[in-house]
Amino acid sequence: SHYDVLQAETIADAVRAIRKSMPDLILFSGTATDGGPLRLMARLQKTPGAGKVPVIALSGCASAADRMRMLAAGVDDVMQKPVDDALLVARVRSLVRAYASGSEWQLRDDTSRALGFAEATATFGSAQRVKLVTHSITGIGPWQSALRGRTAAQVSACLPAHAVSGSADDDETDAFVFLVEPGADAEMLSLLATIRSHASTRHSAIMVILSKVNTALGAQMLDMGANDLMCFGPDVSEVAQRLGTLLARKRQDDALRDTVRSGVEAAISDPLTGLHNRRYAMPHLARVAERSLRAKKPFAVMVADMDHFKLINDTYGHAAGDAVLVETANRLRENLRAVDLIARIGGEEFMIVLPGTNLASAKSAATRLCRVIGKRPFDLPSLDTPLLATVSIGMTVCDPVALTSVKCAHSAEALLQRADKALYGAKAKGRNRVALNRPAA
């Protein structure tokens, strides 16, 4: 294993080292009886950035009560000395991997909040769901009852063959607890790989409980993605404590992922119309240009701009203007193909990209879009009579030959400028019409 290892003789020395360079994991030798792990965890919670660093306590003869005190204080695992080297390294890899993943999502969430998006908040509306996976369904009752009394999660039991069904039910499973009997190694390893490979379960927590000590199997399961491992006939209270930690981490990680996804969506979307914004549209146009070059197919770029929109705002108010923009966006979207892009790139300005579209088809599409806006009045709740509004459209059609000597990112800007120049022509000729900038060829 390739790790940079720093040693400290005392907790004070360890904290000083942590403040200088944040570690990815802490190994501590001691027991709850002498108070060392508990003092360490208390100091870590007060050290900026160190509260979530994983901690493994190596203990010679920790009692069940000692183990519970250490786990409750935030220690991630208590391993009994002498520790099997392969198992220890696998446990280190597992915890470092989980810590790195959580840190990455936290960093992305911090960035989202810096950009003004909402902070991640875990939701507690529904109980989390846990599946006990075992070949001995008939003897699982006491386990279920004991865990139900110690956790708020819904606990069910199933055979390994039924753990992942491929249905929507898989999405609801927050944690799997494997009760591995002798002779079930291959099936449980296969199930572990399946859970980690399916989109619906890859973020589920996995706890493995081996009925007999098997360090090689335990190390293999940790390396394949198990989050926690117990190698002895464990105390149910300790199982519940560890499971509770995994479920809390799963809930927080889910909240972070949801927040980042929402932040990304917000970053590329126009909040008023729900269309994509310029930040999304320009790279998309560059990709369309690049693919068109490879496929040797033409495509069209349009800029549609509301006519006399300032007059609408000044006469009827900004609420009416917003309603007109929303309805315009809806009409344009409804009259385009799924493959086409429409984005709001300015106050009353929309960009439209039509892949695989030649000059004749582009002219027909632009004329149709002008018609669907101008021919039907806008019924607004705030107005007694319907409002008439129109758009002008400037467009250009690009032949792939034109892109052979131009970088696609640059050609996207050039294409938008061509369409924008054509838009000025449409405005100059009286508005509510289509103007073409000569095809790039």
Minimal CA–CA distance to 390: which of 438, 327, 333, 439? 327
Q: What residue type is assigned to position 98 of the chain? A: A
Count other C-beta atoms under 10 Å from residue 400's C-beta.
Answer: 19
Is residue 209 exposed (0-12), middle (13-18) or buried (19+ Cβ within 10 Å)? buried
Quote the pLDDT of residue 121. Answer: 54
Quote the pLDDT of residue 43. Answer: 92
In the 8-state DSSP scheme, what is residue 377?
-
CATH match for 276-440 among 1.10.3720.10, 3.40.50.9100, 3.30.70.270, 3.20.20.140 = 3.30.70.270
Same-fold call for 121-266 versus 276-440: no
Query: What are the backbone angles phi and psi of residue 252, rounded to the nearest 5°?
Result: -65, -40
Quote the pLDDT of residue 70. Answer: 92
Q: At a CB cut-off of 8 Å and minimum separation 6, what does 130 contact?
A: 147, 151, 153, 154, 155, 156, 173, 174, 175, 176, 177, 243, 247
Q: What is the DSSP string of 158-225?
A: E-GGGS--SSGGGGG--EEEEEE-TT-HHHHHHHHHHHHHSTTTTTSEEEEEESS--HHHHHHHHHTT
Quote the pLDDT of residue 326. Answer: 96
The answer to whether the Cα torsion of 259, 264, 270, 275 is positive or negative is negative
**How do strand 349-355 and strand 299-306 relate by DSSP bridges?**
antiparallel
Q: What residue type is assigned to position 234 of the chain? A: P
Tell which phi-psi region holds residue 298, choosing left (phi > 0), alpha (psi between -120 and 50) or beta: beta
Three-state secondary structure call for residue 23: coil
**Maximum pairwise Cα distance, the chain:** 89
Q: Which CATH architecture has domain 121-266?
A: 3-Layer(aba) Sandwich (3.40)
Place of tokens 């810590």: 99
Minimal CA–CA distance to 99: which of 57, 58, 52? 52
Domains in the chain: boundaries: 121-266, 276-440
pLDDT tens for the chain, 441 residues long, are 578 899 998 899 999 999 988 899 999 987 656 678 889 999 999 998 888 899 999 988 778 888 899 999 999 999 988 899 999 999 999 999 888 887 766 665 565 565 565 555 555 557 899 999 998 877 777 778 888 888 888 999 899 999 998 766 667 899 999 999 888 899 999 999 999 998 889 999 999 999 888 999 999 999 999 999 997 666 888 999 999 999 999 998 888 888 777 777 778 899 999 999 998 999 899 888 888 887 788 999 999 999 999 999 999 999 999 999 999 999 999 999 988 999 999 999 999 999 989 999 999 999 999 999 999 999 988 888 899 999 999 999 987 766 554 444 457 888 999 999 999 999 999 999 999 986 544
Token couple for 174: 């927050």
Q: In what order do the strands lie in the sheet with 26-29?
A: 26-29, 55-59, 77-80
For residues 440 and 421, what is the distance between their CA atoms, to the nearest angstrom? 13
